[in-house]
């Protein structure tokens, strides 16, 4: 992704795809700051937009927070839905 205007759906798919590539399911998690910093370089409005989208994904149940909200992982109960969502969005872009 370049510095063009990225849709929220593309950011959601990118967040989940990065966690998927790092194999962060359930008890294996990634620091939230690291994830935000990786994506903030590619998305306009820095990390505020990325943090907002991660919060939406947590509320929808796709992501799980660990260690008082400082780390994040994918929800293994929704593995099929996550894989389908990523595939659908990546094919479209």
CATH of the domain at 41: 1.10.10.10
Domain for residue 45, yes or no?
yes
pLDDT given for residue 1 in this prediction = 43
Domain for residue 75, yes or no?
yes
Cβ atoms within 10 Å of 64's Cβ, excluding its own: 20
Please give the average per-residue pLDDT across 66-87, as a whole number: 94
Is residue 71 pLDDT above 60, yes or no?
Answer: yes
pTM (whole model) above 0.85: yes
Domain for residue 2, yes or no?
no
Task: Give the integer Cα–Cα distance in Å for 59 and 45.
Answer: 22
Domain for residue 58, yes or no?
yes
Is residue 90 pLDDT above 90, yes or no?
Answer: no
| pLDDT tens digits, 6-48 | 888 999 999 999 999 999 999 999 999 999 988 887 776 678 8
**Residues comprising the chain, all counted:** 93
CA distance between the termini of the chain:
10
Structural domain containing residue 86: 8-92
Total tally of structural domains belonging to the chain: 1
């Amino acid at each position: 992704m370049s510095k063009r205007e990225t849709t929220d759906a593309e950011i959601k798919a990118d967040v989940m795809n990065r966690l998927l590539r790092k194999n962060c399911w359930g008890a294996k998690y990634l620091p939230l700051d690291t994830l935000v910093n990786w994506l903030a370089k590619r998305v306009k409005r820095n990390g505020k937009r990325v943090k907002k989208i991660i919060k939406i994904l947590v509320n929808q149940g796709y992501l799980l927070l660990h260690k008082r909200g400082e780390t994040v992982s994918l929800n293994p109960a929704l593995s099929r839905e996550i894989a389908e969502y990523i595939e659908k969005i990546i094919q479209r872009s």
